[in-house]
Structure 1
Amino acid sequence: MFAKSLGDDGAELRPLEPWNAEEFLAHMDRGREHIGRFVELPDHVTDLPSATSFLQRYADKAAADSGRLYGIWADGTLVGGVMFRIFDAAAGNCEAGCWLEPTSVGRGLITRALRLMIDWAVEERGMHRVEWVAGADNTASLNVARRLGMVREGVLRESYLYRGVRHDEEVWAVLAPEWRRLREAPAARRPREGPAAPVTDP
């Protein structure tokens, strides 16, 4: 077990594992409407067995080195999460995503958590490309990509079928050399933090 500090406000990044299922379900119930505006996660996590199953799926991915899932705790309460939905170590490619309760929006928690994750993926695991896919109408999610210094690469037209409606998705990414340059840049030149919203399917 470990926790990574996300700053001076006491927020922490920790592994989100099957034994956290009750806390995870309570968190999802609090944020269900907000999180479900753009992503399927609340539709998959509706009771304790489904919450456990979702967390076990990512525990299995972690064991297979094909994905990762972490929770964000603020003031001792689980308020959101970040993930590597896809993690292909052999190819050097991964896809990141997140979600957040509405009460914790605007604190920069997602941006701070993802910076830690991308640093780990690039520097510790040798990832070359970190991808971000979000609905074209999910402005807060697209702003996360901008704050992380990612490059908008294109639009997948009507590629995401969600609750009977097809949505365009935008693809953003940052490459390892770009990430290192961003991390070395003076703080004044880095994109500023701001609100974040749920951004990816499970």
Structure 2
Amino acid sequence: MFAIPLGDDGAELCPLEPWQADEFLANIDRGREFIGQYIRLPDVITNLATSRAYLHEYAQKAATDTGRILGIRSGGKLVGGVLFRTMDRAHGTAEAGCWLEPSAAGRGLVTRAMRVIIDWAVEERGIHRVEWIASSANGPSLAVARRLGMTKDGVLRESYVHRGERHDMEVWSVLAPEWRAAKGTGSLG
């Protein structure tokens, strides 16, 4: 299995595949409430069967070039991940997302992992626009968007119902020319 180093702290980005469903479920279980504050992932991944099905869905997306999922490992343990929920090469768009268990929060792992997959999407897959959609209440997620050099496109007011509560969702994006320019100047936080 390949791994992409995410810095000199031993963290790495690795494939996350259906045969790793038990490890993925354990990761979600460790962070169930933390992860579930703003996203549905822990409500979807509730047992080994749903974990396997979710990873199988992303294996199908990878096979059809319509999405990707990768795990973030620290000390050899799966602590979170990054993904392209959607990827439409014909239109040059992709929607990125992430999750992280609380033990790994605050170390810049998501930002570093997102740099890798955004760069891959732009340079290898020809994606022109990468979107980041997050609850206005999710400060850490919005901070990642800022560190990645994204621009806030707008707010979808009360557009997302999560656990019975309506959330405003912020849409952020970075365009391929902006990404390349920021990468060239070293300004990607």
Other-structure match for 1:66: 66
Question: What are the ranges of 5 or more consecutive residues in structure 1 without an aligned counterpart?
Answer: 193-202
Taking only the aligned residue pairs, the percentage that are identical comes to 62
| Contact preservation (8 Å) 1:146, 1:191 | no
- Per the alignment, residue 29 of structure 2 pairs with 29
The answer for unaligned runs of 5 or more in structure 2 is none
Q: TM-score, normalised by structure 2?
A: 0.98
1:1-202 matches, within 5 Å, as: 1-186=1-186, 190=187, 192=189
Q: Is the 8 A contact 1:87 1:95 kept in 2?
A: yes
Partner of 1:177, secondary structure, is: helix
Deviations 1:97-153 (A, max 9, x none): 101011111111000000000110111111100000000111111000000000001
**Shift, 1:191, TM fit:** 5.2
Amino acid at match of 1:163: R
Quote the Cα distance in structure 2 between the aligned partners of 1:7 and 1:165: 38
Q: Which has the higher contact order (CA 8 A, sep 6+)?
A: 1
Instruction: Please report how far the alpha carbon of residue 166 of structure 1 lies from its aligned counterpart in structure 2 after TM superposition.
Output: 1.0
Q: Name the SS for the 2:7 alignment partner.
A: coil
Paired letter, 2:108: G
Counterpart of 1:195 in structure 2 is none
Amino acid at match of 1:147: R
One-letter amino acid matched to 1:72 = I
Residue equivalent to 1:198 = none
SS of residue matched to 2:166: strand
Q: Give the match's secondary structure for 1:66.
A: coil
Q: What's the CA shift for 1:163?
A: 1.0
Which whole-Å CA distance do the structure 2 matches of 1:10 and 1:165 have between them? 38
Q: How many residue pairs were aligned?
A: 189
Q: Distance in 1 between matches of 2:188 and 2:126?
A: 24
Shift of 1:64: 1.1
Taking structure 1 as the reference length, what is the TM-score of the superposition?
A: 0.92
Write the letter of the residue equivalent to 2:59. Answer: A
RMSD: 0.8
Q: Is the 8 A contact 2:182 2:188 kept in 1?
A: no
